[in-house]
Structure 1
Amino acid sequence: MLADWRRLLTTALLLLSPLPALADGVLRVLAWPGYADADVVKEFEQRTNSKVEVTIVESDADLWRKLNEDNGANFDIFAVNTAELQRYIHQGLVTEINTAAIPNLTRQLPRFRQRQGIPGLVHGGKTYAIPYTYSEMGLIYDRKQIPVAPDSITALWDKRYQGKIIAYNGGVHSFSLAAQVLALPSPFHIGEQQWPAAVAQLIALRRNASAFYTGPAESVALFKERRAALMFANFGSQQLQLLKAANVDVGYAIPREGALAWLDCWAISRGVRDMPLATRWINYVLDDMPGRVLLQRQGLANTTSPSPYFKNTARIVWLEPAESEERRDKLWGRILAGDRAGKVLQP
């Protein structure tokens, strides 16, 4: 009888005890390849008793299109570089982040904790994104075909490698490369009189290249399949790591003009359904496990430990907003379609 009363008392106490707070169900994540791998997502789901839906993007233009659908209502959180972030802020597609709810910010390296010193993260005293990973865009080359590392971005236009060049399928960064070749004052600001020369450079690149990729895995497949000699590494050390894992003998070079470099951050969409869950995601990816995945599996630096990939002595050109992403993307589409310069530049 005493045992029965104890069981009843235990059951009653369990029923009266408050249940642990549960997550609100689903977190919709928009990310780049390698930013939300299955094991990383599974660990978060287990910690929060939630479900994560991941959508992968492979270009800035694709990211912009997806976030603009229904004014950001389709996603809770997304990864974006600091330069691209500015138009999301101006469009009102992001919301302020409560940094006090992210204790792992104290784990970040000093350069990333000082958010006011990183252009574009803070507006009007409000933080709109948290740094996550970064890399420079160098040149990956086949050591057998190019025994001496290329020292200039102009190598992508070298006729000796015609048909053996792999380039990135993106208008914004491609025009920045053209601006570097033309030695313009800034790769992010092409003047009205400079567009014809920039277009001519990219038409020449299209003719010199064997293929254009959008994602890291595709770039590795194309490099091997086409027996490429040289590739513009839009995803930087991530592609280098993937090629080495595929047993391809490649080298990595930073051009003397300076390597474009990106800093990707997590931002919260205006359409976020569960702000606490989105904030927990940001805090979680600053833990040890997600950081190790970036370094070891993706070949990407994280913001909580020194990078074995990032070369502090190299000349780096941090991305800035371009004068017109829309114009660059439109002209790039015409260039890839094979249009002549006159047609490309038509209004």
Structure 2
Amino acid sequence: MSIIAKRYATALTYFLTIICLATSNWVSAKETLRVLTWDGYADNEVVSAFEQRFDATIERTLVTSDDDLWQKINSGSYDVFAVNTAELQRYIDQGLSKPINMANIPNHAQQLPRFQNLQAIPGLVRQNDTYAIPYTYSEMGLIYNRKLVKTAPQSMAAMWDAAYRGRVLAFNTSNHNFSLVGLLLGVPNPFRMTAPQLQQTARELVKLRRNVLTFYATAEEATRLFAKYDIALIFGNYGTQQLKALREAGADIGYVIPREGALAWLDCWAISRNSLKQELAEKWINYTLEKTVSERLSLQHGLANTISASVTDSTQNNPIIWLEPTLNPLTRKTLWDRIISGEAPEAF
């Protein structure tokens, strides 16, 4: 190689090194937003579009349970996280979340009416500070088999109807089942029942046991059982997501929110106490409330969104009751274990 060629190669190498360093510095200059969320809430397409629009990088971490979420927030570094309203309370209590600047969330104005008044949703606002913004929810409605139930039921009380003996699928949980019966009994606050009210509720759940084929744990399990047996009614713990799965499996079903109301979990976006990117976190929250982004929850993942009304067979004007932390959860769990173990009504 000639001296000139060597000098040219050296210069070219130097030039390329400068370009690489500049590019590296440009990439590292991008803001990184650390998002802790549930499967389906921030899929690849949603993340990619945000990154391109705001010239940012998303570090997405998925959680699998409320316990997992709690552990990660306490031990890791995240900016924004998805949490339900009942769980949110302990994050606020422990100072693990901080208020959101609502001026940076203009898309809140286009949320459905039931999500407009944040003060009316238990747990979102404290001392005039807003700690979370609703994103997705599931009301736990009643699913019915059109082939066996000719008229849409109006109440969860239908699960106790003797006509459906052995044809009901209920969910294996203590908290929701006690709260559900509390609603039917007209208890003012089904999440904070007294000991006598819990005993009365336990007796009603023992009666329900006669109609239940089994208590399912997952939406997939309920779908398999529906396909195998003549199931008339299902307590839809997974709501519209479960409804979508059943229909995709070929089930001829309807879905109602009963007249007494349906229990519902509401997952919201909150900002972590440790976040140094609050404005970017608020841009993320506002972005997810855009119509196309929120509706993707429903179209791709079967989850209800807070922008467009759910298209179901139910009467959407019937109330939904957002979950709250329960009083004496261990008492509920102890009673529930006795119920599913087969104890007689007289034992309660």
| TM-score bracket for the superposition, by shorter chain length | 0.7 to 0.9
TM-score, normalised via structure 1 length = 0.77
1:49 alignment counterpart: 57
CA contact (8 A) 1:151 1:256 kept: yes
TM-score, normalised via structure 2 length = 0.77
2:305 alignment counterpart: 302
2:68 alignment counterpart: 66
Of stretches 214-223 and 167-176 in structure 1, the one that deviates more from structure 2 is 214-223
Tell me, in whole angstroms, the C-alpha distance in 2 between the residues paired with 1:261 and 1:98: 26
Tell me, in whole angstroms, the C-alpha distance in 2 between the residues paired with 1:206 and 1:92: 42
| CA displacement at 1:230 relative to structure 2 | 0.7
Tell me, in whole angstroms, the C-alpha distance in 2 between the residues paired with 1:104 and 1:14: 39
SS at match of 1:19: helix
CA contact (8 A) 2:47 2:58 kept: no
| CA displacement at 1:301 relative to structure 2 | 3.4
Determine whether 1:221 maps to 2:224: yes
2:192 alignment counterpart: 189
SS at match of 1:24: strand
Q: Larger radius of gyration, structure 1 or 2? A: 2
Q: 1:343 to 1:328 in 2, by over 3 A?
A: farther
Instruction: Pick the aligned partner of 1:234 from 226, 232, 237.
Output: 237
CA contact (8 A) 1:105 1:286 kept: yes
1:19 alignment counterpart: 26
SS at match of 2:36: strand
Instruction: Pick the aligned partner of 2:111 from 108, 111, 133.
Output: 108
Q: 1:266 to 1:214 in 2, by over 3 A?
A: farther
Determine whether 1:123 maps to 2:123: no
| CA displacement at 1:200 relative to structure 2 | 1.8
| CA displacement at 1:167 relative to structure 2 | 1.6
Q: How does 1:159-308 map to 2 (within 5 A)?
A: 159-270=162-273, 275=278, 278-308=281-311
The answer for unaligned runs of 5 or more in structure 1 is 58-62
Q: Which amino acid aligns with 2:41?
A: Y
SS at match of 1:49: strand
Deviations 1:303-333 (A, max 9, x none): 2334434966532142252541623552365
| CA displacement at 1:247 relative to structure 2 | 1.6
CA contact (8 A) 2:256 2:314 kept: no
| CA displacement at 1:260 relative to structure 2 | 2.6
SS at match of 2:26: coil
Q: Which amino acid aligns with 1:50?
A: I
Q: How does 1:89-104 map to 2 (within 5 A)?
A: 89-102=92-105, 104=107
SS at match of 1:50: strand
Instruction: Pick the aligned partner of 2:159 from 126, 131, 156.
Output: 156
Of stretches 69-78 and 157-166 in structure 1, the one that deviates more from structure 2 is 69-78
2:3 alignment counterpart: none
2:41 alignment counterpart: 35
The answer for unaligned runs of 5 or more in structure 2 is 1-7
1:60 alignment counterpart: none
Q: Considering only aligned residues, what root-mean-square deviation do their CA atoms show, in Å? A: 3.9
% same residue? 42
CA contact (8 A) 2:166 2:211 kept: yes
Tell me, in whole angstroms, the C-alpha distance in 2 between the residues paired with 1:273 and 1:328: 41
Tell me, in whole angstroms, the C-alpha distance in 1 between the residues paired with 2:94 and 2:342: 32
CA contact (8 A) 2:169 2:233 kept: yes
Q: 1:132 to 1:172 in 2, by over 3 A?
A: same
Q: 1:92 to 1:15 in 2, by over 3 A?
A: closer
Q: Which amino acid aligns with 1:134?
A: Y
Q: 1:225 to 1:211 in 2, by over 3 A?
A: same
CA contact (8 A) 1:81 1:264 kept: yes
SS at match of 2:298: helix
Q: Which amino acid aligns with 1:124?
A: Q
Tell me, in whole angstroms, the C-alpha distance in 2 between the residues paired with 1:294 and 1:252: 19
Aligned residues: 335
SS at match of 1:151: coil
Tell me, in whole angstroms, the C-alpha distance in 2 between the residues paired with 1:153 and 1:236: 14
